[in-house]
Structures are given as C-alpha cells and as structure tokens.
Amino acid sequence: MRMQITDTAIDTRALQDQLADHRAGALVTFEGWIRNHNEGRDVTALEYEVYKPLAISEGEAIIQSVTTEIDVIDALAVHREGYLDLGGCAVWVGVISAHRDEAFRACRRIIDDIKVRLPIWKKEFYVDGDSGWVNCERCAAHGHEHHHHHRS
Amino acid sequence: MRMQITDTAIDTRALQDQLADHRAGALVTFEGWIRNHNEGRDVTALEYEVYKPLAISEGEAIIQSVTTEIDVIDALAVHREGYLDLGGCAVWVGVISAHRDEAFRACRRIIDDIKVRLPIWKKEFYVDGDSGWVNCERCAAHGHEHHHHHRS
Amino acid sequence: MKKITVRYFALFRDRAGCAEEIIETQAATTLDLFTALKDRHGTDDPRGHCKVAINDVMADWDTPISTGDVVLLFPPVAGG
Amino acid sequence: MKKITVRYFALFRDRAGCAEEIIETQAATTLDLFTALKDRHGTDDPRGHCKVAINDVMADWDTPISTGDVVLLFPPVAGG
C-alpha cells in the first residue's frame, strides 16, 4: 500500500528506508508540519479527522496516476489522523526517480492532489481557546454557526 | 554554516532536526543517491573530490541568494566527499517555509545551482574495472587520455 | 420513498449533532438529497467545495441515489 | 616574468601528474595561463565548461593574473 493513514507519529526514516532502490539517483520528500499561525491566528494544536476507506483509495489512485504519468521509480505517502501538537508532521510524501526533475514534479503533484482530494478535515485550536474547522467558511450558509470558521 | 562538506555518512535526521521551526508548515528535501547505472554503464561505486574552501563559499552564496529571493524560513545543504557505495547519499538539501510552493522552488534551485557551481568532481567505478571522471569528455582535446571519460 | 443512510463528517457532523442517520426521501440525486438535508448540515449549495460519496466510492452532485445507499457528505477537505 | 602557483584538480591533476606546481610565465590572463599549460592539463579551450579561481575566489577567463597568485584550474564540475 503506497498511501497510509496513521494515528501515531510518522516515522520518516522507516519510510525512506522502504524507498531505497539502487536504480534511484534522486529522492524528494515533502513534510507538512503544524505551524504556529494560520491566517493571522495563533494556533496551539490541530486535530485531523480522516475517513480512512476513501482517504486510502483516493491516495492510492493519486499515486498510481502520478507515477504512471511521470517517469519515477516509486512513491509513498502517509497522512496523520488525530491530535497533533505544534511542529508535528501531518503528512509525508516521498518519491524516488533516476533523475531529480521527475522526483520534484511527482512529489509536488502528489501533495497538491492529496490536499484537494482526500476526505480529511482539520480542526485548529487557538491560543484564545477557540477552535474551528479549516476551509469551512463557505458552508456557513444558514448563519447558525457554533464554531469559528475561516479561510486557510 | 548552511553549506557543509563531510567525509562521513550524511545524517539526514540530524539535519532535519536542525531545521525544526514552529513557523514552518513545509519541509522539502532532496537527496542525491549513488545509482547503479549512468549513461548505459554499470556503476559499482563513486568517489567525490571536493575543493572545500570554494565548495563551502559557493554553497553559502547559493543558499544566501536563493533564500533571499524566495520567501523561505531556512535552508541547509550537505555534500559528501570521498568514496561512496551504491545507494549512498551524496548530497542532501532541506528547505523550510510557511507554505509549500516556496520550499519546493527553493530546494530545486539550490540543488540545481550546487550541481553546476560547486568545485566537486566525481569519478565513477564500473563493473568492468574501468573508471572515469564524469563530465570530462570535453577536456579530451589532445587525444592523450589515460582514463575513460564520458558524458553524464 | 427511498431508504438512505446518510453519514456526516467534520463540520457537518457537528451541525447535525450525529454522525449517521437513516432517512426516507424522494430525492433523485445526491444534490437533491443534500438540499433536502440543508437544515441538518447547514449549507445551501455544495457544488464546488463539498464532496459526496456513495457506498465508499466518490460520486458527483448529479449522481442518482437508490434505496439502501450509504451517502457520505463531506464538507470542504483540508488535508496536509 | 610572473611567478604563479598553479593547482590542478581531478582529471587535470591526473593528467599533469601533480596537484601543484610553481611556474614562471608571461601570461596576462587566466586564459593565457591555461593555454600555455595545455600540455599539462590536456585541454585546448576551457571556456564554457572549465572554471578558474585565483586565491580561493572564483575568477573569469579574462581575469588578469599577478605574480604570487595561486591559480586553481577546475575541469568540468560534477557534484550531486
């Protein structure tokens, strides 16, 4: 399985070891980290909700599609679910190829697609005690919001 | 120092730890690995010769220039010298930024510039016992070659 | 009337106050169903930012629904 | 005559059979020097693929050289 969802810390070293291949001349990795601010608010922590069956199948489809289209050797991706502190690794993508251009392009494509296609939601917790689902401001059509929502 | 030259194995974990920063949302890394073929020849090992004073100053200048031009938080690069076996890591570049686009672009620029600007040479060792300096075919102007040279 | 299992995620679950419910509906498509449930999930028009799946397969907003389907309503995703 | 220390790297060192030598030359620029030494490093024209440095600072092929300079002759680089 090239797309994984985990509720424990992502072990990037173990993932890189899985990608070791003597045909590969390039490894490009992306890590998404929990940063201390988003859209002007101070963030203290984050919780990811993941619908695993479809997150995995969509992720596999993305990796299959990108690695078919771009000449790479292999690719892996892992996304966290659950609660993460500041600095925590939320997502990791690694791609190996013979030459670096393909690994850079494929890694970028995979993380871009993961962010828009996988059924994953994040709730941010703020310094002021408030919290909110990211990206949900467009859903506030009825004005009966109980949560803070904002663009991210 | 953000550009380092080392004659021992590159410790990518320690490098990533150096880059930890709560303002960062993205880490992009590039690793160059010794692969088992180059231009149709079977490679068994590789030796890097590095002129350290200028490799370091050129690398620092590259990182300074790229991190000034592109809005990233920090960047580090390490290049090996000496003998490497197949699968070994020859070069590592890591860039952190608030958002992923900048980290991808800066990482790509840094490795591209490292490859063309740093005074580093590599000698490949082949399965058939031959060896050759990579990229030196253009220097064979006098026909008094003792080594095998080829395009890479 | 069709008997449909609806599952709400993230913000939609918070608003609906439940993760799953079984409803009877005359809705022909996923969009009809979404609109019929707007007092539950609180959103007028899902097109362009919300997603829907039927029986664990991604669907479109004009996909027909049938009795027995499990319809998953996804607010805007935010992975990564 | 200028007294110049020339350092050869990688392929150039292999060809010259030494890493460094002190020479006396009337060469005005790095290119003149390179050309005067072509039986040592084995290359006619360095422009476009070889590099040169003077006293640990990168130089161009039209940079003047002076007595006491340490001139570094770099064959095509291949890092990464």
What pLDDT, on a 0 to 100 scale, did the predictor assign at position B148?
Answer: 44
**Structural contact between residues D65 and B47, judged by C-beta atoms closer than 8 angstroms:** no
**Structural contact between residues A67 and A74, judged by C-beta atoms closer than 8 angstroms:** yes
- Tens of pLDDT, residue by residue over C3-21, are 999 999 999 999 999 999 9
Q: Which amino acid is at C51?
A: K
**What residues 8-27 of chain B have any CB closer than 8 A to a CB of chain D?**
none
- For A135, the closest chain C residue by CA position comes to C76
Residues 6+ apart with CB under 8 A from B104: A30, A104, A107, A108, B26, B28
What pLDDT, on a 0 to 100 scale, did the predictor assign at position C64?
Answer: 98
**Structural contact between residues A74 and A82, judged by C-beta atoms closer than 8 angstroms:** no
Integer Rg of chain B from CA: 17
pLDDT more than 70, % of chain A: 90
pLDDT of residue C35 exceeding 50, the answer is yes
Identify the band that residue D28 occupies on the pLDDT scale cut at 50, 70 and 90: very high
- Mean pLDDT, chain A, rounded, equals 91
pLDDT (mean) for A9-23: 94
Residue A134: which of C14, C42, C78 has the nearest Cβ?
A: C78
- Tens of pLDDT, residue by residue over B72-118, are 999 999 999 999 999 999 999 999 999 999 999 999 999 999 999 99
Q: Do B91 and D80 touch (CB under 8 A)?
A: yes
What pLDDT, on a 0 to 100 scale, did the predictor assign at position A83?
Answer: 97
pLDDT (mean) for D9-29: 97
Please report all neighbours of C, defined by 3+ CB atom pairs within 8 A.
A
What are the angstrom distances between the C-alpha of A55 and each of A64, A123, C72, D1? Answer: 14, 17, 13, 75
Which residues of chain B lie closer than 8 angstroms to D58, CB-CB?
Answer: 54, 58
Residue B104: which of A16, A34, A108 has the nearest Cβ?
A: A108
What pLDDT, on a 0 to 100 scale, did the predictor assign at position A22?
Answer: 94
**Structural contact between residues B92 and B10, judged by C-beta atoms closer than 8 angstroms:** yes
What pLDDT, on a 0 to 100 scale, did the predictor assign at position A42?
Answer: 93
What pLDDT, on a 0 to 100 scale, did the predictor assign at position B38?
Answer: 87
- The reply to whether D49 touches chain B by the CB within 8 Å rule is yes
pLDDT of residue B150 exceeding 70, the answer is no
What pLDDT, on a 0 to 100 scale, did the predictor assign at position A38?
Answer: 87
**B16 burial level (CB within 10 Å; 0-12, 13-18, 19+):** buried
Q: Do C80 and A115 touch (CB under 8 A)?
A: yes
C18 - beta bridge partners?
none
Residues 6+ apart with CB under 8 A from C62: C29, C30, C31
Task: Characterize the bridge pairing of strands A131-133 and A74-80.
Answer: unpaired
Residue A111: which of C77, C78, C80 has the nearest Cβ?
A: C80
d(CA C26, CA D76) in angstroms, rounded, equals 74
pLDDT more than 90, % of chain B: 84
pLDDT of residue B151 exceeding 70, the answer is no
Q: Which amino acid is at B138?
A: R
Q: Do A142 and C9 touch (CB under 8 A)?
A: no
3-state SS class at B64: helix
Task: Characterize the bridge pairing of strands D51-54 and D70-74.
Answer: antiparallel
Minimal C-alpha gap between A20 and chain C (Å): 24
C51 - beta bridge partners?
C74
**Structural contact between residues B18 and B95, judged by C-beta atoms closer than 8 angstroms:** no
d(CA B33, CA B52) in angstroms, rounded, equals 20
pLDDT of residue B141 exceeding 70, the answer is no
Residues 6+ apart with CB under 8 A from D48: none
Dihedral pair phi/psi, residue A56, rounded to 5°: -70, -45
Minimal C-alpha gap between B148 and chain D (Å): 11
Which residues of chain A lie closer than 8 angstroms to C44, CB-CB?
Answer: 141-142
Residue C11: which of A115, A117, A136 has the nearest Cβ?
A: A136
What pLDDT, on a 0 to 100 scale, did the predictor assign at position B138?
Answer: 64
Task: Characterize the bridge pairing of strands C70-74 and C2-8.
Answer: parallel
pLDDT of residue A74 exceeding 50, the answer is yes
- Mean pLDDT, chain D, rounded, equals 97
A27 - beta bridge partners?
A96, B31
**Structural contact between residues D54 and D65, judged by C-beta atoms closer than 8 angstroms:** yes
- Mean pLDDT, chain B, rounded, equals 91
- The reply to whether D17 touches chain B by the CB within 8 Å rule is no
- For A77, the closest chain C residue by CA position comes to C80
Q: Which amino acid is at C68?
A: G
Identify the band that residue A140 occupies on the pLDDT scale cut at 50, 70 and 90: low
Minimal C-alpha gap between C57 and chain A (Å): 7
Identify the band that residue A146 occupies on the pLDDT scale cut at 50, 70 and 90: very low
